[in-house]
A and B are shown apart, each in its own frame.
Chain A
């Protein structure tokens, strides 16, 4: 049978505050175990949590950035369960009165369907505290607990089940991460765990009405450590659930863990995680109600977000939409691009704008990939260097092909492109006399081709240009080479 996947994602975002959500302990990553803890985050008796104002403001910023409505009354609840990483026996989270609801993100298409925007609705954004970290010692049968992370502020961003494929899930996450980076509320680093994702997936018959609530059995996938893992685990679940349904099996509503090495999900056999959290209002925290002026103030302070910036790039730099979207999806790339544009000589930006975009999205993106660096800053190729490279081509000093070599060399040595050209003597030959001398030699060596041209075979000119380029080891300016050869042939 044909099925339609119904996918929703929950993203946990660590906010980059100095102190924890309910106490003054540091949130710094990588400190020695249990050195950033106090009676509040240890859950000792008789202490009271107090909300960090910055957490609240960051939360409002994110909720507004995701087009959510800020709720008039915001209340914290206790989510009760027992696990050693949770010292109080409950997590302070939010239940029926979260910070923001009813938002959306517009995703600019997938690789399979580029340019086809789709909208993912945001169900809710709420604040909560993180749990501690466990180090398991399975052979010895015990675990070690580090509570430095307990009480670090998190935002949970829950999407509606609007995603229909692993690719869409991947693109949604990329877009969401882009927006969160622009909002400057988190370092969004998946490796450090400051951005985490759980996925929910069920299958509906492909023929089922899309507007009706989905009827499939929902499976939650955890332990997803990268966007790629999210997409892979969803593809795996679509196959697994589809096969089970085709075989007439009944699926279980359960939490499954992704195994990235084996490339499969496995059910958590333990019943220890009872999904019965007995939420009730946190009596230690009073309700919150933000005056609308304050919401307006945060709203006015929002930066230009990727989608708006892409539109501006199209208008201002005359870039194709696809380029503008690709450049703006990461804030650092977009900032780099605009730093380059500012360095371009005034009055002649139009063509270099596109050239700079091409280099960024082409060769530099590939270098970033190959060197496995995160963001353009990792390449150690400042905007001035890229502008210099584009200018070297533009002014005819080097050819596009030579520029690629220059780039590789510049990245390796850290020298500027102009310095590389100087050091390697790579300058393109634009001197008409020296090209003419080489062209004469080529014509002597290739009398047949020269004769063919005279007989009206136009394509032999290109052959001769090729020979000339070879003779000069690619240094001749190709346009000039063609011009000089034609001149010599016509005058024979």
Chain B
């Protein structure tokens, strides 16, 4: 129906995951089923029900503007695969300023 293997390939690229041709086929079928279900949901009568963005009946949950202790630099970097001094070290993707 809606979702082609090409759509899945595009989404996989955006999500930075590599999919085999078999997976592309399998997932496009699965996503199709999900969308078909959403189509069914769309048919439900929703007059008088405002659109919702959250399942909890809560609004306006704030914290006060108070400082809390941060992690130490060592703790922050403890699980980093690669580091240099106090920094995380990553492969250069692009340099947006050059």
CB atoms of A24 and B86 under 8 A apart: no
Least Cβ distance of A284 to chain B in Å? 10
CB of B94 closer than 8 Å to a CB of A: yes
Query: What separation, in Å, do the CA atoms of A287 and B98 have in the docked complex?
Result: 39
Which chain B residues lie closer than 8 Å to A414 at the CB level? none
CB atoms of A144 and B88 under 8 A apart: yes
- Tally A residues with Cβ within 8 Å of B: 58
Query: What separation, in Å, do the CA atoms of A276 and B11 have in the docked complex?
Result: 10
Binds A, one of B26-34, B36-44, B55-63: B55-63
A51 partner, pick from B62, B84, B93, B97, beta carbons under 8 A: B62
Query: What separation, in Å, do the CA atoms of A278 and B53 have in the docked complex?
Result: 15
CB of B22 closer than 8 Å to a CB of A: no
Bitwise interface map of B from 66 to 96 toward A, beta carbon under 8 Å scored 1, else 0 = 1111111100110000001111111111111
Which chain A residues lie closer than 8 Å to B56 at the CB level? 286
Main secondary structure of the interface of A (DSSP, over half): loop
Size band of the B side of the interface? 35 or more
A272 partner, pick from B58, B62, B94, B98, beta carbons under 8 A: B94
CB atoms of B16 and A82 under 8 A apart: yes
A286 partner, pick from B61, B77, B85, B98, beta carbons under 8 A: B61
Which chain A residues lie closer than 8 Å to B90 at the CB level? 84, 142-145
CB atoms of B96 and A143 under 8 A apart: no
CB of B54 closer than 8 Å to a CB of A: yes
- Number of A-B residue pairs with CB-CB distance less than 8 Å in the complex they form: 142
If A35-B86, A56-B62, A287-B54 touch, whether A138 touches B16 (CB-CB below 8 Å) is no
B68 partner, pick from A23, A84, A276, beta carbons under 8 A: A23
Binds B, one of A37-45, A103-111, A394-402, A454-462: A37-45
Query: What separation, in Å, do the CA atoms of A56 and B60 have in the docked complex?
Result: 10
Query: What separation, in Å, do the CA atoms of A18 and B85 have in the docked complex?
Result: 27
Extra A-B contacts (16), CB below 8 Å, given A35-B86, A141-B92, A145-B90: A34-B76, A34-B88, A35-B76, A37-B76, A42-B76, A53-B64, A135-B87, A137-B92, A144-B88, A144-B89, A145-B87, A223-B96, A281-B53, A285-B61, A287-B59, A288-B60
Can you report 22 residue pairs joining A to B where beta carbons are below 8 Å apart?
A18-B66, A19-B65, A24-B68, A32-B73, A33-B87, A35-B73, A35-B76, A36-B70, A37-B76, A38-B71, A39-B71, A55-B65, A56-B62, A82-B16, A84-B88, A142-B92, A145-B88, A145-B90, A268-B94, A285-B54, A287-B59, A288-B59
